[in-house]
Amino acid sequence: MAEFKPPQNNLLHIEVINAIINAIVSGELKPGDHIVEQHIAQQMQISRAPVREAIRELAAQDIIRLIPRKGAFVAPLDPKNIEGIYLLRSYLEGLAARLAVLRLTEADLNELYLLNYQMGEAALKNNVNTFIDLDLRFHDFICQHCAHPQLKKMIDGVQLQTKLFMNMSKWHLAAHSELHREMNAHQPLLEALRARNQDEAEMRMREHIIMAGNLLLEYLVNKKSITNREQNGDHVGV
């Protein structure tokens, strides 16, 4: 029997969501930019209704800031905020790890170990995109096994933001030189999971995320001071 796949999303607003996210990731839409419903609607040759829904949904995830009767704006990206986001993420994913300890089977653990191994390979090959993708799958895998849909949803939202941060700041371009620092970042967490130690798993997950946040932050501050130097010839001390 031939394969009859169900038609993928015929829901317009979901395609709009993806389109907007892509536009932000690709830098086409920059933080602070005004998102005009009709412009998107015309470009995608659809009406404003699904565009509106997409914007509202992204606003619920804080990707977009909504101001009544003025419009939608791409959320600003400031380091102060990033620190808070990563702190939040560390708490949420820490809790997810704690809950996942109760549910991960041996097969699940093996899968995680495999992902971790592949990350090591990608790091050695300096393959940043593969590394980031594997890292995301690693975290997702744990969060999916926490059996807490609402927590999962929150984490997805925060993760999307961090993904945007990384892309907007073109972090991945500079990550080559940082990969070695992240290479074995999951090891302590994995051991805690295997030992079925909830406290330890939560703690390690938190540490790991805070560390990743600091790495990004460090890069951002660096870049900014370099940019400033370039712009006004001023030397900014470390």
Partner DNA sequence: CCTTTGTTCATTGTCGACAATCTACTTATT
Partner DNA sequence: AATAAGTAGATTGTCGACAATGAACAAAGG
Task: Using CB under 8 A, list all residues that contact its own copies.
Answer: 11, 49, 52-53, 56-57, 60-62, 68, 84-85, 87-88, 91-92, 95, 148, 150-151, 153-154
69 or 80: whose CB is closer to DNA? 69
Contacts within 8 Å (CB) and 24+ apart, 136-144: 136/163, 138/112, 138/186, 139/93, 141/108, 141/111, 141/112, 141/115, 142/93, 142/96, 142/97, 142/100, 142/104, 142/112, 142/193, 142/205, 143/93, 143/96, 143/100
CB of 38 to its own copies, least distance (A): 16
Round to whole Å and give the CA distance between 210 and 94.
Answer: 11
Read off the DSSP letter of residue 127. Answer: -
Q: Does 158 bind DNA (CB under 7 A)?
A: no
Kindly write out the interface string for residues 34-73 of this chain, putting x where it contacts DNA by CB under 7 A and - elsewhere.
Answer: xxxxxx------xxxxx-xx--------------xxxxx-
CB of 35 to DNA, least distance (A): 6
Q: Does 10 bind DNA (CB under 7 A)?
A: yes
Cβ atoms of 35 and 69 within 8 Å: the answer is no
Give the one entry of DNA, its own copies, none that residue 113 binds, where binding means its C-beta sits below a cut-off of 5 to 8 angstroms depending on kind: none
Give the one entry of its own copies, DNA, none that residue 178 binds, where binding means its C-beta sits below a cut-off of 5 to 8 angstroms depending on kind: none
Give the one entry of its own copies, DNA, none that residue 151 binds, where binding means its C-beta sits below a cut-off of 5 to 8 angstroms depending on kind: its own copies
Cβ atoms of 65 and 75 within 8 Å: the answer is yes
Cβ atoms of 38 and 49 within 8 Å: the answer is no
Read off the DSSP letter of residue 68. Answer: T
Report how many residues bind DNA under the rule CB under 7 A: 22
148 or 163: whose CB is closer to its own copies? 148
Round to whole Å and give the CA distance between 211 and 44.
Answer: 40
CB of 75 to its own copies, least distance (A): 10
**Residues at the interface with DNA (CB under 7 A):** 10-13, 34-39, 46-50, 52-53, 68-72
